[in-house]
Structure 1
């Protein structure tokens, strides 16, 4: 599902990623752990096409998602691919405060140009599946932290992505909501064969994963 090979990333003279290679299978839940500054979030952003590796021609870098070499796509093609194939879950939810839960979930589909009636139906189904049927018309400010994160999960699922990337998804939740979110990831994998790559400092979540990769100083040192 996700193949990356010899990925480097530098910011000026600071080399953040130093030849990272990974292969993640469809339906696998993989966590990436390590100290702050190890390069975890940078790697996740590159996999998610939000950033690009440094001089891929020099290092013969490869990034493939579902066998498509995304390093060869132009910016507009990347934007379309990202919208249709990658779901994102962030620590601070990134919900638009002026939109309802339902509208926030519909956004990826609206960007993709799908019919509004279809989007309304799909977003409603997702929120009901995540036990938020009673919160459809509530704005983020009226939702608890756990509810906001479940809305963010529904938004990530809206376009049926091939892979979901999560950056500290439970880092802003209390222990009960964090555990509920972790169990939700496994439920989604079981029912939809969803693939997850999760950057986390949560030891329990890391231990639950199919594989946990440890990064240090811009490289993967163990799995």
Structure 2
């Protein structure tokens, strides 16, 4: 599903990622942990195509997701690939406050030029699956933190992506709500087959994963 080799990233003279290589299988849930500043989020952003790796230090660098080589895709090709194949869940849900839960969930599919009617039907199904059928017309400010994050999960799922990238997804939630969200990830993997890559400081979530990777000073350790 994901094959990354010799991933490097510099910010000026600071090397944040140092020849990172990893492989993640379809349907696997992988957690990435480590101290702040270790490079976890940078790695997640590169794997998720939100940032680019530095090839100048190692011409053998490569990134393949769902059998597609990412490095040489043009911007328009990359945007389309990201929209259709990848989903994202962040610590702060990043829902658009002027739109309802239903409208927020639909946005990625509308960007993909899918039928409005079909998209809304699928979004309603997802929100119902996530226990939010009674909240579809509510705006984010009218939802609890856990409800907001579940709407963000539905938005990440609307295009049926192969991979879900999550960056501290429960970092802004209370313990009970966070635990429910963690269980949801495994339910989604088991029932819908998604692959999850999760950066987290939550040891409980990290230890639940099929595999836990530790990043220290830009180097990934198993």
TM-score range, shorter chain: over 0.9
Residue of structure 1 equivalent to 2:58: 58
Residue of structure 1 equivalent to 2:27: 27
The one-character-per-residue Cα deviations of 1:95-149 (angstroms, maximum 9, x if unpaired) are: 0000000000000000000010011100000000000000000000000000000
Matched, 1:101 2:109: no
Residue of structure 2 equivalent to 1:74: 74
The one-character-per-residue Cα deviations of 1:13-58 (angstroms, maximum 9, x if unpaired) are: 0100000001000000000000000000000000111110012583
Matched, 1:134 2:137: no
Distance 1:115 1:76, change over 3 A: same
1:78 positional shift? 0.4
Residue of structure 2 equivalent to 1:49: 49
Matched, 1:114 2:109: no
Is the 8 Å Cα contact of residues 4 and 62 (structure 1) preserved in structure 2? yes
SS in 1 for 2:99: coil
Distance 1:24 1:56, change over 3 A: farther
Q: What is the TM-score with the length of structure 2 in the denominator?
A: 0.99
- Structure 2, unmatched stretches of 5+, are none
CA RMSD in angstroms comes to 0.8
**How many pairs are equivalent?**
222
- Aligned pairs for 1:159-198 (under 5 A) are 159-198=159-198
Q: What is the TM-score with the length of structure 1 in the denominator?
A: 0.98
Is the 8 Å Cα contact of residues 8 and 57 (structure 2) preserved in structure 1? no
Residue of structure 1 equivalent to 2:206: 206
- Structure 1, unmatched stretches of 5+, are none
Whole-angstrom distance in 2 between the partners of 1:104 and 1:129: 16
SS in 1 for 2:54: coil
Distance 1:69 1:51, change over 3 A: same
SS in 1 for 2:58: helix
